[in-house]
Structure formats: structure tokens, C-alpha cells
Amino acid sequence: MVAAPCGTCPIRKHHGRPHQTRDQELVNLTAADACVIFHSDWNPLNDLQAQARCHCFGQPKAVEVYRLITRNYEREMLDKASLKLGMDRAVLQSVSGNNNGPVQQFSKKEIEDLLRKGAYAAIMDENDEGNRFCSKDIDQILQRRATIITIPSSVDRTRCSTLLSHSSVDRTRCSTLLPHSSVDGTRCSTLLSHSSVDRTRCSTLLPRSSVDGTRCSTLLSHSSVDRTRCSTLLPRSSVDRNRCSTLLSHSSVDRTRCSTLLSHSSVDRTRCSTLLPHSSVDRTRCSTLLPHSSVDRTRCSTLLSRSSVDRTRCSTLLSRSSVDRTRCSTLLLSHSSVDRTRCSTLLLSHS
């Protein structure tokens, strides 16, 4: 709530907008059932006007009025405004009268209280709750009136207490990860307690929406995974996550060039032949690699005979007469480090 000069705030249970007592004088706020006066006016009629906006015709509920005031100049100003309002009630109201019924006459005691104490003090008891409240010590007030509200959270407190007490857990990052709405607390507890997990990168991967948290937990807990490269590959939209999880966990795979090698013309065919028959390999990339002139036709015939391979391209490749398929297949299979470009040149010269 932003306090404005001479302001009141007609509100409902959970929401409301502050209104100044001197602004919007013709606005009726019958939807509000409470009026909070947080800055009293020198003219008490302005405060009454603000209260009357909630008491207009059509108000089905009882209206409560609250006034926030401190024991300094505000209290003195309120007392003087109360005296002016008391004089108005004692003198002017009885003279003006009312056409709808008889005028209510004040007794001598009531008129004296209005003139001496003011309108507000005249209707208040000497031993009211406000005086008793001010006479108490602040510790007594907090002990009797304070209410402790516990807000439930989505974090498993038992698991959190176990993690925070673990010597290998970064407690600052743990406290940041666990309250995060997108973090699975069960997985987080497994990752954070694992000694080989890079917790800085873990905190980056887990909250990311495009990362499969289940696979991420497997990759991050694997001792041979390069986590820096993993964080680059996994969020990339063109990377097949299933293949990435297999390649990254393979000890002999160069993870930096993995995605580049499969589509590059200088691929090591021995390793490529191992990767391509894999069920998770994209056959579209395979069909791009196989038309190269240095491809082993014997192996090509095996690969292309799979049901998902384009047989038209297979028949075109195998019908080339310039390649000695027997010798080529022997050389390519027995020499894993053969330069395929030179191999294709040698085979053509021998033929």
C-alpha cells in the first residue's frame, strides 16, 4: 500500500486501491467492506466523507473503519479535528434539524463531552481496549497476539536436511536448487550427493526446460562424461538426445567431433561402421555418407539391405565397375586408420 497525503483506503478482504479523501468525491465504493484511514485530515468532514463512500446505498455488509495513527503530531491533529467535529455535532446539528423526523436532543453531559473532549473521545470509554493495549509491554503483546503461520513448500524438508548436512554438498547452491519449481527434488538429492558431479553446471542444466532431466542425471553421474561439452550438446535443438546419451557415455568417442564426424566426408569408416548399424542412428545421415566414392560397397550392401534404406541408391552404388570390392573390403576392415581417400586411389590404380 502506498500512502498518499490525506489518504484512505477502502478495501475488500484481499485487495483494494488507495483513494485520497479529496479525490473522486462522487465515487461510491459499496464493494468495499473496510475503510482504512492512514493519514487523518485537519478537516474531520473529509474523513467522514471517505467512510460514507462505503456506507452508500447498496452496501449489503457491515463496514469496518480502521484508523492508523501514531503518538506524535498526528495524535494532536486528530484531537483538534475531534474538537471541531464535536462542536459541529453539539451546535450545528441540533440547529439544522431533520425533515424526516424529530431532532435527537443531546443531554447536557453529552454536549459537555463533545465540547471538552471532542467527537471521537466522547464515544470512547475511559478504560477502553486502546488504553489497555498501550499500557502493555511489547513483549507481552507479541506473546499473546502474535500468530506463527507456516507456509508449506514443495521441498522435502527431510531430504533437504540430509543434503545440507552432507559434507560434500555446496550448501549455498543446494539452497538455491531445492526451492526451484522446475527441479525434481529426488533427482537433485541424488546429483548433489554424488562426489563426481559438477554442481555449478548441474544447476545450469537442471532448470533448463529443453533438457531431459532423467538423461541429465545419468550423464552427470557418469565419470567419463565431459560435462562442459554435455551442457553444449544437450540444449541444442538439432541433437538427438537418445544418440547423445549413447555417444557421450562411450569411452572411445571424441565428444567434441561426434556430431560433426557423422556428416563429414573424412569420417573414420571403421568407427562409422560401428556407429551406423546402431538402432538410434539417423538413416538420413547414413544415406548421405554412403554415396561417397570411398565407401566400402560390401559393407554398403549390408547396410543398405535394411528395411529403412533407399534401395535405388544402393543399386546405383553397387553397380559401379571401378572398385575392386573384395580387396577394398579387406583393406578397409583390417586397417582402422586407413586414409580412405588414398585407399580409393590405390584400388582404382590396381584395377
Cα distances (Å, whole numbers) of residue 251 to 123, 240, 242: 87, 19, 16
Q: Is the pLDDT of residue 80 over 80?
A: yes
Q: Is the pLDDT of residue 81 over 50?
A: yes
Per-residue pLDDT band for 177 (boundaries 50, 70, 90) equals low
Rounded mean pLDDT of 138-163? 67
Per domain, the residue ranges of the chain are 7-145, 281-351
Q: Is the pLDDT of residue 123 over 60?
A: yes
pLDDT score of 115: 78
Rounded mean pLDDT of 118-127? 65
Per-residue pLDDT band for 119 (boundaries 50, 70, 90) equals confident
Among 92, 13, 83, 10, which Cα is nearest to 53's? 10
pLDDT score of 257: 46
Q: Is the pLDDT of residue 212 over 60?
A: no
pLDDT score of 138: 83
Between 125 and 34, where is the model more confident?
34
Per-residue pLDDT band for 61 (boundaries 50, 70, 90) equals confident
Mean pLDDT is highest, among 220-224, 262-266, 325-329, for 325-329
216: cell is 541429465
Beta strands in the chain (DSSP E): 7-11, 19-20, 34-37, 64-67
Q: Is the pLDDT of residue 85 over 60?
A: yes
Residues 24-58: tens digit of each pLDDT: 455 566 677 888 888 888 888 888 888 888 777 77
pLDDT score of 60: 81
Cα distances (Å, whole numbers) of residue 52 to 11, 35, 151: 14, 10, 37
Rounded mean pLDDT of 98-102? 57
Rounded mean pLDDT of 126-151? 75
Rounded mean pLDDT of 332-336? 47
Q: Is the pLDDT of residue 87 over 60?
A: yes
Residues 184-194: tens digit of each pLDDT: 444 555 544 44
Where residue 6 falls (left for φ over 0; alpha for ψ -120 to 50; beta otherwise) is left
Separation CA 211–CA 205 (nearest Å): 7
pLDDT score of 330: 53
Between 279 and 65, where is the model more confident?
65
Q: Is the pLDDT of residue 66 over 60?
A: yes
Q: Is this prediction's pTM over 0.75?
A: no
201: cell is 553446471
Among 29, 34, 93, 110, which Cα is nearest to 67's? 34
Q: Is 72 exposed, middle or buried (0-12, 13-18, 19+ CB in 10 A)?
A: exposed
pLDDT score of 262: 44
Q: Is the pLDDT of residue 239 over 50?
A: no
Q: What is the DSSP letter of 26?
A: T
pLDDT score of 82: 84
